[in-house]
Structures are given as structure tokens and as C-alpha cells.
Amino acid sequence: MKPNLSATDQAFERQVVRFVQRYGPKVDESWRTRAVQQRWQARLTEYGWSVPSWPKQYGGPDWTPTQKYLWYRTCARAMSGYAEPDAIARVGPLLIQWGSQAQQDEYLAEIRTFAQQWCVGYVEPMVGTDLRLFSTTVAHDGEGWHLNGCKVAVFDAQYADKMCCLVCLKDRMSRDESGQRFAFVIVDMHSPGLTLHRQQTLDGESVFRVEFEQVHLAPNCIIGPVGHGGQHAALMDTHLFGVLGRSGVVGAQLELLQQQMRGLAEEDELQRRVSEAEIELVGLEALEIRFTDALQHNLPMPFPLTLLRIRASQLEEKMGTLLVESFGYYALPYPDEITSHNESEIGPERVSGAKAASRSRLAQLTKSAYMDTSLDLQDQLARVLKL
């Protein structure tokens, strides 16, 4: 199902498809490879498409909401594992919304051109996103700000120049000891007292534990307001068009699944479940289109953005599970006797698709911090950003 596109939007979609086919990962390449990402980023910068969701005055390409939706859906469908850097998806919008003019002048241009890499420090060990238990703190000793604590599940920390870190603020001016005050701070990843500890997820991806011990911060390290934490939690999770485009991920899974299912009878039980999942995908696209249309015409959001996020996650997991089941005896742990015939092994594209099942569940676990905020807060935030 597709939106009723104007001639301009149809031409735009064709242009995006050609761009992704030409500059995206090739068949034998992985999106997770650093060299592939850098090549892609160079082309985005050349075309002026590096920050598609940003407002035009900050370097965005001045696309309509429908065009942004088409971009993210196409990228998600064509490139397995595609994700924008946190600098583009979260840190940039944070600086645009709350950053001072000096911070915007210092950081936005370098983020836009990929000259500066960022990571996000949000999750704490054994805490998740329960702000009442946060122990990473920033305090002012009369001479400057100092950071102490620990963050876990930090992606791409090994490449980052800066971190956007959610902290509990302690300052001498505060008289309210009963309530905590939170803020985002900018951390130089090359600072003395900062250490990285590599960890590995179940699908082989590297994440990091980042520890801070009296890490000195710049005078203008605090981004925007200091508050109770709710608005900060919501902002970290809401990347509007990244969520809207996730039907592309499910669509790519469905294509793999349909290839795997060729030859099965229509009445086959697995085939029936695949058909049901395909209908659910049509429903997800319809919800995305409805939401995008509301943005396009500046109407109130028809439902919370989190509804789309949850529905897409459920479908990703379902499609991945069906793909694993479609392997049949190839998925058995001890297939020696059964596979003694001369049929070929399943190809790498099938294996890559099958990982979607475990990766979807893994993402829910390792990034569960981004799912804990309330629907209302995220709904309000999407209205504020108006991306």
C-alpha cells in the first residue's frame, strides 16, 4: 500500500530508489561495516541529504513530510540494518530544540558533514531508565563541572568524539534535596578519567560500558533546560521519521520470506501465516500513511507515535520467526543424516534474514531504555519537534 503520491513525490521516490541502489551497500557488503557507512555518508553530504529530518535553516534538504517518509522507508527496505547515526537522529534535534546559539554554531555543522561522531549515554547498569536510581552525576566544585558514574549499552563509542549524556545534576545553588534535577551534558570522549570497556551482544555487535571518574567538562556543557527528567527521557526515544519508515524493514523481511516459501502449497499452514503477516504489513503501512498525511497537512496526530513503534517491532519479530521456520530441516541443530543428499546449503542472504528474529528481540532488550517512557510524553514531544 502506498500513499496517493503527487507527480512530484513519485519522481522523488524514483530518485531516492536510484540513489540507494547506486550508493548503498552491495550484495556482498554489510551496512554495519565502517567503510560502507563512510562511503554512504560521503555521498549524502555531496547531495545535501545528510540530515533529511532537520529543518531547512539547519541544513536539512527542505523535504515535505511525505518525502521524508519515502526516504526513510526506502532506506530501511533496501539496506538491512540501516540506521542513522545518533548524532543525526537524536543529538542534532536536541541541539536544535534546546541548544544555545554557541552550541549550535559549534556542533551542528560538524554533525551535518559527519566531521564529528557522537554517541549517546543514557542507560545505567542495573537501572535502565528509572531516573530515581540514576547515579551518573555532574557537580560543580567552584572551578568547573565534573562527571562521575557509568553508562552501558553505548553504541559506536569507539568512534565517537563526543557523547550526549543524561546525568543527575548536583549544584551548590540547589536547595531542593527531595527532587533530582536532570540535564543532558556534552562529554569529550578523549577526556582523562573516561574509560571504555567493550562488550558483545548476542549477534556479535559491539557495545560499550563507559565509566567516568572526575571527568572535567567544558563550561557550556549543559544542553538546554534542567528538569525532572521526563522531557529528557522522551526526547531520547523520538526520531519521528525513523519510526515512520520501519515498514520498510518489515517489507524487506517479507520479500526474503516469500522467496523462501516458493513452491509451498497455498493451503500449507506456514503459507497461511505468511499471508496473514503480509496483511498485517499492509495495516502498518496504512497507519504510517495516515500519520504522515496528518503531518503533511499540519493536522493533529491521529495516535501516539509509540503505537507505530510497537506495531513495527512486533511485525519484525514475527517475520523473522516465520523466516526461521521456513528453513525447515535446514534449521535443525544436527542435520547430518537429513542433509546427506546433494541439495545446496542456504545462502548468506537467508542467514542474514533469519538473524532478524533474534536481532529484533535483542534490540528490545539492549535498547529497552528507549521504550520505557510514557506514550503521552513521546506524543507531546513529536508535536514540539514538528519534524
Looking at per-residue confidence, does 177 or 34 come out higher?
A: 34
From CA 248, how far away is CA 78, in angstroms rounded?
A: 8
Residue 146's pLDDT band, with cuts at 50, 70 and 90, is very high
- Asked whether 182 and 134 are in contact (CB, 8 A), the reply is yes
- Asked whether 308 and 249 are in contact (CB, 8 A), the reply is no
Task: Convert the pLDDT of each residue in 185-195 to its tens digit.
Answer: 999 999 999 99
Q: What per-residue confidence (pLDDT) applies to 335? A: 47
Report, as an integer, the average pLDDT of 28-55: 90
pLDDT of 291 over the 60 cut: yes
Domain 117-228 has CATH 2.40.110.10: yes
353 contacts: CB under 8 Å, gap ≥ 6: 80, 253, 256, 257, 320, 323
Residue 343's pLDDT band, with cuts at 50, 70 and 90, is very low
What residue spans define the domains of the chain?
7-98, 117-228, 237-333+343-385
Task: Convert the pLDDT of each residue in 242-282 to its tens digit.
Answer: 788 899 999 998 988 888 777 666 557 888 888 899 999 99
Residue 353 corresponds to which amino acid?
G
Q: What per-residue confidence (pLDDT) applies to 379? A: 42
Percent of the chain predicted with pLDDT > 90: 42
Q: Cα torsion for 366, 367, 371, 377, to the nearest 10°?
A: 150
* Residue 64: burial class (beta carbons within 10 Å; 0-12, 13-18, 19+): middle
Domain 7-98 has CATH 3.90.950.10: no
311 contacts: CB under 8 Å, gap ≥ 6: 284, 287
From CA 53, how far away is CA 104, in angstroms rounded?
A: 16
Closest to 136 (Cα-Cα) out of 219, 239, 217: 217
Task: Convert the pLDDT of each residue in 89-135 to its tens digit.
Answer: 989 988 998 899 999 999 999 999 999 999 999 888 877 656 677 78
Identify the residue whose cell numbers are 563507559: 210
Q: What per-residue confidence (pLDDT) applies to 375? A: 35
Q: State which fold the 237-333+343-385 domain adopts.
A: Butyryl-CoA Dehydrogenase, subunit A; domain 3 (1.20.140)
- Asked whether 151 and 165 are in contact (CB, 8 A), the reply is yes
- Asked whether 164 and 186 are in contact (CB, 8 A), the reply is yes
Task: Convert the pLDDT of each residue in 350-373 to its tens digit.
Answer: 444 444 444 444 444 334 333 333
- Would you say the CATH fold of 237-333+343-385 matches that of 117-228? no
Pairing of strands 137-140, 145-155: antiparallel
